[in-house]
Amino acid sequence: MSLLITGGTGYIGSHTVVELLKLNKDIVIVDNLSNSSTLVLDRITKITGNSVKFIKVDICDEHALNTVFEQNDIEAVVHFAGLKAVGESNEIPLDYYQNNVSGSVTLFKVMAKHNVKKLVFSSSATVYGENNTSPLKETMATSATNPYGQTKLMVENILFDLAKSDEQWSIACLRYFNPIGAHESGLIGENPNGIPNNLLPYVAQVAVGRLPKLQVFGDDYDTPDGTGVRDYIHVVDLALGHVKALESLSRISGCQPINIGTGNGTSVLEIVNSFKEASGQDIPYNIVPRRAGDIATVYADASVANDLLGWQASRDLNAMIADTWRWQSQNPNGFE
Ligand code: NAD
Ligand code: UD1
């Protein structure tokens, strides 16, 4: 039987596919390549020695998805496919709702039709909104402040309703904190289109000389050095969280939200200084006003992941930054 990985050629998907292939799982990737390229498939094979089946499919295309389920013996789905840029979601909200919400509903309908009711879903710490105090716990109230966050919250709510309607569903909603880093081989990593929105890819591109200067969004937060604090998690630890979640689905009834973070917070300036040290490059920066929608401090209470999945992060910030730098310096222009 095979695992279906939607969005499997993307950043987190590709790292998860590597960890699953290492366990000799049969994998089918579907992706519409809107934010990735098939060049990653050769890299995955180089790392694992295994090849992976890829089918170019848009998850909004019910007919094509049906064919995938008819032609492959799928036992469970890991659903990464989605658009993920917060700023862009404010500009083209309908595309986000169509792709992330309608696409997910289409996928779940096709899964139900084929009696595949095991699912791991990529949610985000963004569902905790602005009004909770870290460490964030799964029992806290959820809310969203932008269309991207709304799509994650809506899909979570759809999954809670689906699991209530039919007790055969086992669903893990993994709420990722801030994934960074790359595979230790330096062969796969994050490859953003255009100018990066997130801190780590931006800093990495400054270090490699593709961008001139980092803008630090505010140094007047109520944090030790005034800059924003986040829970950065190594993408390979995150990938291993998916492996554990898949193994645990038989013990999960209904839809279970699970934080995937380290439980530690790191400031923007700590990231800049660690990156400087790891890369030996200067990282020039300016302090600029706060970015709308940002909050001071976000980090996880990761105890549910530990108790329920037997998972905890094991790679520290030095490894996250060293691996980001290896990927960026070996592939200054991404996969091209
Ligand atoms: P990514 O853009 O690298 O990967 C997503 C993949 O989905 C891409 O390969 C893209 O081509 C594909 N895709 C998008 N829409 C599709 C569609 N309609 N049909 C088929 N394929 C489609 O992003 P990522 O960082 O790997 O994120 C994976 C998931 O995790 C996303 O759902 C994202 O919202 C979520 N997430 C990411 C982060 C993060 O910081 N990277 C944080 C929290 C949650
Ligand atoms: C962003 C998203 C959030 C998403 C998360 C993980 C926004 C408003 N929020 O959050 O929905 O779940 O990514 O994908 O986009 N920073 C700078 N300069 C930069 C970039 C970032 O100073 O050029 C700072 C930010 O202010 C923040 C920290 O770095 O304090 C991390 O930023 P980022 O990587 O964008 O992640 P989040 O803000 O956590």
pTM higher than 0.95: yes
- CATH 1.10.3720.10 at 2-180+232-262, yes or no: no
Q: What residues flank ligand 1, with Cβ below 6 Å?
A: 6-7, 9-13, 31-36, 58-60, 80-84, 99, 103, 122, 124, 176, 179
Confidence of residue 325 (pLDDT cuts 50, 70, 90): very high
Residue carrying the six token digits 């389920």: 69
The DSSP secondary structure of 244-279, one letter per residue, reads HHHHHGGG--EEEEEEES-S--EEHHHHHHHHHHHH
pLDDT for 65 equals: 98
Which atom, in ligand 2's list, is nearest to the CA of 293? 8
- Specify whether 96 is catalytic: no
Q: What does the pLDDT look like over 72-100, one tens digit per residue?
A: 999 999 999 999 999 999 999 999 999 99
The arithmetic mean of pLDDT across residues 262-287, rounded, is 97
Q: Tokens representing 192? A: 């953003």
pLDDT for 67 equals: 98
Confidence of residue 227 (pLDDT cuts 50, 70, 90): very high
Averaged confidence pLDDT in the chain:
97
Which atom, in ligand 2's list, is nearest to the CA of 216? 22
Give me the catalytic one of 148, 176, 221, 299.
Answer: 148
Sign of the CA dihedral with 324 first, then 187, 29, and 99 last: positive
> Which residue's CA is the nearest one to ligand 1's atom 19?
58
- Classify burial at 213, counting beta carbons within 10 Å of its beta carbon; exposed 0-12, middle 13-18, buried 19 or more: exposed
Confidence of residue 336 (pLDDT cuts 50, 70, 90): confident
Ligand 1: which of 6, 11, 29, 68 to mutate, most ligand atoms within 8 Å of CB? Answer: 11
Ligand 2: which of 80, 178, 324 to mutate, most ligand atoms within 8 Å of CB? Answer: 178
What DSSP element (H or E) covers 322?
helix 317-330
